[in-house]
Amino acid sequence: MAGQATTLGKSAMGGALHGDSSLKVASKTPERFRADAVTSIDWSNINYPPGIRLVHFNPDELPTPVARLARVLHGMFVVTSIVLLANIVHSVVLVIGGLPASRIGYTIPSAFILTPASGATFYQGYVALAISDEKKKKRYFLFQSIFLTVALFLFVSPLGSANGLLALSSMQSKIQRYHLSSGMHTFWVYAAGLESTLWFTAFLLGAYGMAGVRRFNPYHSEASRSPA
């Protein structure tokens, strides 16, 4: 999926690399977009993620209402990255506290798969908004639908390394089986509360972003489109 995000970024930059490095976007949207009538998108500026720099991302280059929606899509990716990192930390602590080491075998592959998958999904939506591309928009809807299902599942799931809401109900039997301390019990409750909250937040951001992209009225500009 990380490779997909890279390919997507290169596709979006196609028009910039074959012409001017700054793509001029002429807005043809309703009144609220006219203040941002001409926007430059410098696809050649590979700046995201910070330190890795695989693609171009700068919502400030978009008309203001579109930029807000792009930030919602980005917010979903950020929250997802945070909860996956938190799950790794929580799993390590719980394994040290007495739970089976297999939890680490679940959490690390999950993070390596879901983080770039979430990033590719967010970026697909961002590019679809930036260049008003219906094909990329449909692809974003497909990826986002899958991601929302995963987020909702992890919000409730107690399976593997997941600390969803249902982990709270199955926790007591595991505490007795593995003879966990009361302190570890408290930590596990905290981990389940934090992770389920973050997954639900990611789900809400993703659902809101998806609805926003669906309602979005593109500012159709041939100058803004890449040949991809």
Condensed to tens digits (0 to 9), the pLDDT of residues 100-122 reads 999 999 999 999 999 999 999 99
Q: Which residue has the higher pLDDT, 227 or 65?
A: 65
Residue 11 has a pLDDT of 43
Total number of domains in the chain:
1
Give which of 149, 147, 146, 117 is closest to 8, Cα–Cα. 117
Is the pLDDT at 66 greater than 70? The verdict is yes
Q: pTM for the whole thing?
A: 0.78
Beta-carbon contacts of residue 148 (< 8 Å; ≥ 6 apart): 203, 206, 207, 210
Containing domain of residue 170, as a range?
2-224
- Burial (CB count within 10 angstroms: exposed 0-12, middle 13-18, buried 19+), residue 51: exposed
Condensed to tens digits (0 to 9), the pLDDT of residues 189-213 reads 999 999 999 999 999 999 999 999 9
Q: Minimum mean pLDDT among 85-89, 107-111, 112-116, 128-132: which range?
A: 128-132
